[in-house]
A and B are shown apart, each in its own frame.
Chain A
Amino acid sequence: MIQASPSVAARNIGRGGQDPSRHPGLNLHPHDGEAHEEAEELVFGFWVFLMSDLIIFSMLFATYGTMLDALAGGPGPHQLFELSSAAMETAVLLVSSFTFGMASLAMKYRQSVGQTSFWLAVTLVLGLIFLGLELHDFADMIAKGGTPSRSGWLSACFALIGTHGLHVTTGCLWIAVMLVQLKVFGLDTGVKTRLLRLGLFWHFLDIVWVGIFSVVYLLGLAP
C-alpha cells in the first residue's frame, strides 16, 4: 500500500497504526491495517450514498402520506392488507439482519470463509423468502382489485413498497455475487470492504422496512 491515503498514514503513525474505530460501520480486525485504510474512504462514502438514498425513500413516504385519501373509490387498506403476512415479512427481514450480523462477526473474529459464507447464504435465503412473501402480497392485492393503476393511493403504495423490494432484490444479487467472490478470492481486502458496505445496505433496508410496516400497514389497518 503506497501512499494511497497519506493523511490516514500520517495519523496512523501517531496512534500506532491501531485505531479500531476509524470509520463508521463494523470495524475490521484491529490489526488489519491495509483493509482499514481501504475501508475508511469506501465505507464513509457508502454512508453518504445511503443518506442520498434515504431522501428517495423520504420522498416516497411523503407522497404516500399525501395520498392516504386518494382512493378514488377504489379499495383501501382494510380491504387489501393482511397484517399477518406483513408481520411475517417483518420477522423474516429482522432475522435476516441478525444473520447478516453473524456473517459480519464471522468475518471479523473468525476470519472464516466457510462461516461467513454460511451466514450470508442464510441471509440470502431469508431475503428471497421476504421477496416471495412480498410478491404474494402484491398478487393478493391485485386479485382483490387493488392494482397500482387503480388509484393515487395504490400507485403511491406500490411505488413505496416496490422501491424497497427493488432494493432488497439488488441486495440479494449483491449477496450472491459476494458468495462467489468469497469462493474465488477468500477474505481479501476487496471482499471485506464490500461485505462491510453490503452489511450497511442490508441493515438500512431493514430500517426502511420498519418504517413501511409502521406507516403503511399498522397505521393503515388501525381502526
Chain B
Amino acid sequence: MTSFLFGKLGYGALPFYSAIATVAASMVVLGAIGVVAFITYLRGWKALWTDWLTSVDHKRIGIMYIVVSFVMLARALAEAMLMRAQQVAGYQSPGFLPPEHFAQLFTTHGTIMIFFMAMPFLIGLYNFVMPLQIGARDVSYPLMNSVSLAFTTAGAMLMMVSLCIGKFSTGGWSGYPPYTELAFSPDVGVDYWIWALTLSSIGNTMTGVNFAVTIYKKRAPGMHLFRMPLFAWTALCVSILMIFAMPPLTVATLMLAMDRYLDMHFFTNTDGGNMMNYINMFWLFGHPEVYILILPAFGVYSETVSTFSSKTLYGYTSLVWATISIAVLSFTVWLHHFFTMGQNGNVNAVFGIATMLIAIPTGVKIFNWTLTMFRGRIRMTVPMLYASAFMILFAIGGSTGVMLANPGFDYQAHNTLFLVAHFHNMLIPGLLFGMLSGYHYWFPKAFGFRLHEGWGRTTFWCWCLGFIFAFMPLYALGALGMPRRSQEYFEGAYLPYAIVAMFGALIIGFAMVAMIVQLYVSIKDRAATNVFVGDPWDGRTLEWSVSAPPPEYNFAILPEVGGRDTFFADKRHGRAYRIPQHYEPIEMPANSPLGFIVCVDMGVTGFALTWHIWWLTIGGLLVFAIAIIARSFNRHTKRIISTAEIRETEKRWIEAFQFEPAIPVEDEVTNLNRGLARIPAE
C-alpha cells in the first residue's frame, strides 16, 4: 500500500519486530540526541559550522571521514558480537535472534565494515596525510572533496536510519540477485542497501579522481614520482583503482534498482534476465576493492616500519613496482569469486593462476619491510606492534588465500566459514591494523598531542588476541564444513569452536572500549603530551616538517625536494627548521555550505527513493541540481591569507622549535617528547 505523501512508509516500519532491534534503534536515537545535547552544552554549533561542516580544508575533511568511520565501526562490531553469540546459542535451538534478523545483521555488518568503516577510514587518512606528504597546500578540488564526504556520509546516515525505520536487506553485503529481486525480497531492505551503496560509491569515485589529479599535478617542486613516500604511492594506485572499479558497482546497483523499481529484467530469473551479469560486474568492482582496502595499510606500514626502525625503506623501487603490479593484477582475477558457478575448467584455471600471482608482489613487500627492520633502531611503539602482528598474521591469511585460489579446493571451502576466516584474516590485520597503526602514528600530527601509550598497547593486544581467538576457530569450522551465515545448527562438533570464537569477539569488543578510554585519557592529558613542534617520532617525510596541527595552508613556503625522505635528510644536514626571510600571501579555497547541503539533500533523497516517496525524490534531485548550478555562479570562491596572518602563525611555531628541548628517540613515548627529535651524532 502506498500513499502520495508517505510512499510505502507506515507504522509497520517501526522496529518492534524483535526486542534487540528495538533496543538498537533506541540506542541510535539516544546517541543522536546525546550528540546534539553535548554540542549545545559546549556551545559548539557555530564552531562546528564554520570550522567543520563548511570547511573544505583537506585535513578537516580527513578527520571527519575518520569520525564517521569510528561511529560505524562501533555499530558493526556490536553486530559481529551479536552474531557470534547467536552461533553459540543457536546449537540445536533457535537462539535469541530470529533468522530474518540474523540475516539483516550479517548484511549490515559486511556493508558497514566495507563501505562505511574501511573506506571512510582510508580515505580520511589519505585526505589528511597525502597532500602534506607531497608538499601540497590542498587537494586539486577542495570543494569536490567536501561533496565526496557528503555522499559517503549520506550513505552512512541511510544505514543508521534503516536501523530505526523499516528493515535492512537480508541479501548479504554482495546482494546477489535473484534473491535481492523484488520477487524474493519485497520489502524495502534491499532498497536501503542499494541507495546506501550507490551514494557511497559516487563519493568514492569522486575521491579517486580528486586524489589521482592531486598527485599528478600538485607535487612540490622536485617531488618526482619516484621520490614520493610509499604512502603517497599507494594513494595514487588506490585512486586509480577507485576510478576504474567503482563505476561497475554503481552500474550493478542501479540495474538492480531498475529491476526492482521499473520491472526491468537485467538479473531476474525470468524474461531474459541473467544474474551472472550482476555477479561479474559486482566482482569487477569487488576484487579491486580488496586492494583498495589493503594497499593503504601497506602504505602505512611502509612509513611506520621505516620511521620506528630509523632506517631508509629497503628496496623502495621494488616496493613501488610491487604496489603497481598488485593494482594491475587486481583487475584480472575477479572470477575467482565464482569458481563454482559453472564456467569451464580452463577459465577457472586461468583465473586461479592469476590469483596466485598476486602473492608474489605481496611477498616482495613483506621481505622489504623485514629487511628494513634488520639492524635498525627498532622501537616497539604501538604502530610498530600493529605492523609486526600484521606481518605474521597476514602471511597466514595469504597462504589460505593461495589455497582458495585453487579451484579444486575452492569447491570444498566456498560458502563455509573457512572463507569468512580467510577474508577477515586479510582485512583485520591487512586493513584495520594498518589504519590503527596510521591512527596512532599521525594522531599527534592531526591534533598536536600524542595518544596514551599504555591504553594503546592494551587496545593492540585486545585486537590481536581477539582476532586470533575469533577467527582461527573459523578455519577449523570451515574445514569441518560449517556453512557461513548459519543462524541455527545441529552438529555438536561445531559448538566448542563457536564458543572460542565468541570469546574472541568479546575481547575485540573490549578493544573498542579500550580505544574509547584511550581517546578520553589522551584528551584529558593533552597538555602533558603536547607536540606542537610537530616531529614526535623523528619522522622522515614532509608532513613532519610543519607544526602539529599544521596551519590551514600546510606550508608557509612550499618545500623544495631533493630526494627521498626529504625532511629526514634535511634534519641531518642542518637544513630543517630554517626561518624564511619573508612570506607571501597564500590563496586558499573559501568555506562553502555546498557539502553540507548535498549531504542532507542526498540523505533525504536516498530515504525518499527507498520508501517510494516520489515528490520528495524529485524535490531532492532538484535541490541538488540547483545547489550545483548556484555554486557555479559564485565568483568569490577563494580567500587570501595575508602575510601578516602567516607571519603571526609561523612566529608561534618558530618560537616553539627554538625553545623546546630536543629528545632522543628512546624517550619518544615519554612526556619529555615535545615534538622535536634530537638528531643523533653520526
**Interfacial residues, chain A to chain B (CB-CB below 8 A):** 1-7, 10, 40-41, 44-45, 48-49, 51-53, 55-56, 59-60, 63, 66-67, 70-72, 74, 148-156, 158-159, 173, 177, 181, 184-185, 188, 190, 194
Contact call B213/A55, Cβ cutoff below 8 A:
no
Tell me whether B271 and A152 are in contact (CB under 8 A).
Answer: yes
Contact between A185 and B635, CB atoms less than 8 A apart: yes
Q: Which residue on chain A has the smallest CB distance to residue B637?
A: A190
Could you give, for residues 243-268 of chain B, a 1 whenever the CB lies within 8 Å of some chain A CB and a 0 otherwise? 11011101110010011001111101
- In Å, the complex CA distance between A151 and B272 comes to 6
State the CA gap A142–B158 with chains docked (Å). Answer: 35
Q: Tell me whether B587 and A52 are in contact (CB under 8 A).
A: no
B residues near A194, Cβ cutoff 8 Å:
632
Partner of A6, one of B221, B250, B264: B221
Tell me, in angstroms, the Cα distance from A5 to B635 when the chains sit together.
Answer: 19
Q: Which residue of B lies closest to A185 (CB)?
A: B635
The answer to whether residues A48 and B213 also contact, given A7-B221, A155-B264 and a CB cut-off of 8 A, is yes
Nearest residue (CB) in B for A59 is: B251
**Further 15 A-B residue pairs, CB within 8 A, beyond A2-B587, A7-B221, A154-B265:** A3-B558, A41-B140, A45-B210, A49-B209, A51-B244, A53-B247, A70-B265, A71-B272, A72-B271, A152-B268, A152-B273, A152-B274, A177-B629, A185-B635, A190-B632
- Distance to closest chain A CB from B144 (angstroms): 9
| Smallest beta-carbon distance A35→chain B, Å | 14
Whether B263 lies near A149 (C-beta < 8 A) is yes
Q: Which residues of A contact B264 (CB under 8 A)?
A: 148-149, 155, 158-159
A87 shortest CB reach to chain B, Å: 27
Q: How large is the interface on B (under 10, 10 to 19, 20 to 34, 35 or more residues)?
A: 35 or more
B281-A59 in contact (CB<8A): yes
B274 and A48: CB pair below 8 A?
no
Interface of A is mostly: helix
Confirm or deny: B218 has a beta carbon within 8 angstroms of a beta carbon on chain A: yes
Partner of A66 from the list B251, B255, B274 (CB cut-off 8 Å) is: B274
Within the assembled complex, what's the spacing in Å between the Cα atoms of A155 and B216?
Answer: 39
The list of the 10 closest CB pairs from A to B, nearest first, reads A152-B272, A70-B272, A155-B264, A72-B272, A55-B247, A149-B263, A59-B251, A45-B213, A151-B272, A72-B271
B217 proximal to A (CB < 8 A): yes
The answer for the CA separation of A6 and B554 in the assembled complex, in Å, is: 14
CB distance from A213 to the nearest CB of B (A): 21
| A–B Cβ pairs within 8 angstroms, 6 of them | A3-B558, A7-B218, A40-B217, A48-B212, A56-B250, A67-B274
Partner of B270, one of A3, A48, A72, A181: A72
Question: Would you call A59 and B633 a contact (CB within 8 A)?
Answer: no
Which residue of chain B has its CB nearest to the CB of A1? Answer: B587
Complex: A49 Cα to B217 Cα, angstroms: 15
Q: Assess A70 versus B273: contact at CB under 8 Å? Given A159-B255, A185-B635.
A: yes
Roughly how many angstroms separate A60 CA and B264 CA in the complex, as a whole number? 14
Of B141, B209, B272, B284, the residue contacting A52 (CB under 8 A) is B209
Shortest Cβ distance from residue A153 to the other chain B in the assembled complex, whole angstroms: 6
| CB atoms of B585 and A2 under 8 A apart | yes
Partner of A155, one of B208, B265, B270, B640: B265
Where the two chains meet, the residues of B that have a C-beta atom closer than 8 Å to any C-beta of A are: 140-141, 205, 208-210, 212-213, 216-221, 243-244, 246-248, 250-252, 255, 258-259, 262-266, 268, 270-274, 277, 281, 284, 558, 584-587, 625, 629, 632-633, 635, 640
A52, A53, A60, A190 pick with most chain B CB within 10 angstroms: A52
Q: Chain B residues near A53 (CB, 8 Å)?
A: 247
Q: Complex: how many Å from CA A5 to CA B219?
A: 9
Distance, CA A74 to CA B209, complexed state (A): 41
A51, A63, A153: which contacts B277 (Cβ < 8 A)? A63
| Candidates B244, B266, B625; contact of A63 at CB < 8 Å | B266
Q: Which residues of B contact A3 (CB under 8 A)?
A: 558, 584, 586-587
Would B243 and A52 count as touching, CB distance under 8 A? yes
Q: Is B274 in contact with A52, judged by CB distance below 8 angstroms? A: no
Q: Do B587 and A4 touch (CB < 8 A)?
A: yes
Could you say which residues of chain A place their CB within 8 Å of the CB of B252? 59
* CA distance in complex: A93, B87 (Å): 60
Closest to A56 in B: B247
A56: contacting residue among B209, B251, B585, B587, CB under 8 A: B251
B271 contacts which chain A residues (CB < 8 A)? 72, 149-152
B209 contact from A45, A149, A155, A190, Cβ within 8 A: A45
Write out the residue numbers on chain B whose beta carbons fall within 8 Å of the beta carbon of A2: 584-587, 640
Given A52-B244, A59-B248, A63-B277, A184–B272 Cβ distance below 8 Å?
no
Decide: A63 near B558, CB < 8 A? Known: A7-B220, A41-B213, A72-B270.
no
A107 to B619, CA, bound (A): 36
A4 to B584, CA, bound (A): 12
Question: Whose C-beta in chain A lies nearest to the C-beta of B217?
Answer: A41
Rounded to whole Å, the gap between the CB of B522 and the closest CB of chain A is 36
Q: How far is the CA of A185 from the CA of B636 in the complex (A)?
A: 13
**Cα(A150)–Cα(B219), bound, Å:** 53
CA distance A127 to B210 in the complex (A): 30
Contact B244 A55 (CB under 8 A): yes
B633 touches which of A67, A149, A184 (Cβ 8 Å): A184
Cα A51 to Cα B263 in complex, Å, equals 30
Q: How far is the CA of A4 from the CA of B632 in the complex (A)?
A: 19
**Across the interface, which residues of B come within 8 angstroms of A70, CB to CB?**
265, 272-274
B281: chain A residues within 8 A (beta carbon) = 59, 63
Cross-chain contact B251 with A60 (CB below 8 angstroms):
yes
Given A2-B640, A4-B587, A60-B251, are A44 and B265 neighbors across the interface (CB < 8 Å)?
Answer: no
Contacts of A188 in B (CB 8 A): 635
B263 touches A55 (CB 8 A): no
Q: Which residues of B contact A7 (CB under 8 A)?
A: 217-221
Q: How far is the CA of A153 from the CA of B271 in the complex (A)?
A: 9
Closest chain A residue to B212, Cβ basis:
A48
Is the pair B217, A48 in contact by a Cβ cutoff of 8 Å? no
